[in-house]
Structure 1
Amino acid sequence: MNKIYGVSLGPGDPDLITVKGLKVLQDSDFVFYPGSLFSDGTKDSYVRPMLDYYIADKSKLQGFFLKMGLDRSTAEETYNETTDLLINAWQQGKKISIACEGDLSFYASFSYLLQRLQQHSIPVELIPGVNSFSLGAAKHQVPLCLQNEKLVFLPLEQSIEKIEQMLQDFDTMILMKIRTGLPILLPHLRTKNWKFYYCERLGTANEYITTDIEELYQRDIPYFSLLIIKK
C-alpha cells in the first residue's frame, strides 16, 4: 500500500538531510511543507530554501501556511484543509512527502498532520533527522551529556526561578522558543556562573553563535534560536 512520508530536513544546512530522506523527497510527486502567514498577509517558509536546493521541479512543492501566535483556531483549520489535500492525492496513488525542519518528532507542525492521517488510517512512515540543538552543540564543540549527566528542555521559559530549580536536578538545559523569554531572562542569566552557548538560524547563511551572554543584549532574537546552558 502506498505511504505518505514525513521527511526531516535538519536545522538549515541542506547537506544535513539523511540519504533516505533525500531519496524520498526526490521520488515524490508532491512535497508539502510548512510556512508562516503573517498579519499583513505575507508568507514565509524556513523550509522552502532547503527544498529548492533538493528539488528542481518546483511544481511538486505545496506550502501550507500557519498564522503565528497562541490562538490555535486558524492553525487547526489549516491542518484540516492540508489533511484533505494529502488524502485526496494519496487516494489518487500519488507519492507524497511532508517536509519538516529539524526533526519531525520535536516541536514539529508535522505531528498535527500525522495525528489526522492516523485517524483516517492512512499509512505513514517517519524519517528522522538532525535536531537544531545537536547542530548547536556541534558548532560550539561542546558535549550535551557525558556519563550519567541529565538533559532537560524548556520551551517559552521566562522564569529564572524555574531555570534555577531545574538545574538543581539536571546538568544541561536547552531553552527553546526563546524569542520572547530571553530579553526577560538576560539580566538574571548574566549574574549566574553557568556556561552559555547561544545559537540562531543554524546551518543557514545567517547563522550566528556566541558564548558571550552580553552580546545578546543588542541582538534581535529570531524565532529560530536556542540557548544551551551548562552548570
Structure 2
Amino acid sequence: MAMGPGDPELLTLKALRILKEADLIFYPGSITKGQKKSFVYPILQYHRLEDKELIGFFLKMSNNREEATETYAATAKKIEAAYHSGKRIAIVCEGDISLYASFSYLLAQLQESKLPISLIPGINSFSMGAAQHQVPLSLLNDKIAIVPRVKNIEEITQYFSDFDTIVLMKIRSGWSNFYTELLQKDWNYYYCERLGTQQEYITTDITTLEHREIPYFSLMIIKK
C-alpha cells in the first residue's frame, strides 16, 4: 500500500485501517555507504505500529539491478511463507503504489505465486509538490509529461514541444548537466525536496539551488 510522499497524515483511511489490522508489515529502505535508512519507517512509528512485526527490505542505491533483484526475490519468499503461516500481511511503499514503486517488483513475483493481493493507491510526490506551491499541474487541455533522470537541457526542451507541464523525477543524477542552462530559460520552476517531512524545502527561485546538494527525494515541476 502507498504511504504517500512523506507527511504521515497523507495516508488514506483504508491504508491506515489495514495497517492496524495487519500482523506483519514489510517496508522498504535503502543502503547508502553501509547505512540502512527507511523513508517510510518514521510514518509507521507516527501511527504507533511498532508493536507489529516489522520487516525491512533494503536496497543499495545503485544502477546495478542484480542485488536488488535478489533482495526482491528473497523478500517475496518471506512474504509467501508468512502468508501460508496464516499471518495478515501489509507491504508498504513510498509515494504511490504504481509510480516508481519498489513494490511493483515484488508484485510480479507475488502474482506468480498466486497469492491474493489488494493494492491501495496513495498520494504521489508531484501532486503534493503542486499543492505546496499552490499551482495547478494542468488546466483544460494541458498535457503533462513525467520524466525520470533527465540527462540534459535538450531533452527537456524536446518534451516542451509536445507538453505544457513537465515533472522531472529523480533529478539528482543529471542535475549538474542542465542546472546552469535552466537559468537561461524563460520557464516557471517549482522545486521540491523531502516533501511532507521536517526537512521539506520548496522554491520557485532556482538560483538558490546553485550550491545546494540535491537529495534523492527531490523533483521539479516546470511550466512554459
Q: 1:215 aligns with which of 208, 212, 216?
A: 208
2:132 paired with 1:144 = no
2:39 paired with 1:14 = no
What CA distance in whole angstroms lies between the structure 2 residues aligned with 1:181 and 1:204? 24
Which residue pairs with 1:42 in the alignment?
35
Q: CA deviation at 1:135?
A: 0.3
In structure 1, the residue corresponding to 2:118 is in which secondary structure? strand
Which residue pairs with 1:3 in the alignment?
none
| 8 A contact 1:26–1:55 mirrored in 2 | no
Q: CA deviation at 1:48?
A: 0.6
| 8 A contact 2:22–2:52 mirrored in 1 | no
TM-score (norm 1): 0.95
What CA distance in whole angstroms lies between the structure 1 residues aligned with 2:51 and 2:151? 41
2:20 paired with 1:26 = yes
In structure 2, the gaps of 5 or more residues are none
Q: CA deviation at 1:37?
A: 1.5
Alignment of 1:1-231 (within 5 A): 7-39=1-33, 41-231=34-224
| 8 A contact 2:30–2:60 mirrored in 1 | yes
In structure 2, the residue corresponding to 1:148 is in which secondary structure? coil
Q: CA deviation at 1:38?
A: 2.5
- Same amino acid, percent of matched pairs: 54
- The CA RMSD over aligned residues, in Å, is 0.9
Structure 1 runs (4+) deviating above 6 angstroms are none
What CA distance in whole angstroms lies between the structure 1 residues aligned with 2:189 and 2:196? 19
| 8 A contact 1:52–1:58 mirrored in 2 | no
| 8 A contact 1:202–1:208 mirrored in 2 | yes
Please tell me the residue identity of whatever aligns with 1:23: R
In structure 2, the residue corresponding to 1:136 is in which secondary structure? helix
In structure 2, the residue corresponding to 1:196 is in which secondary structure? strand
In structure 1, the residue corresponding to 2:55 is in which secondary structure? strand
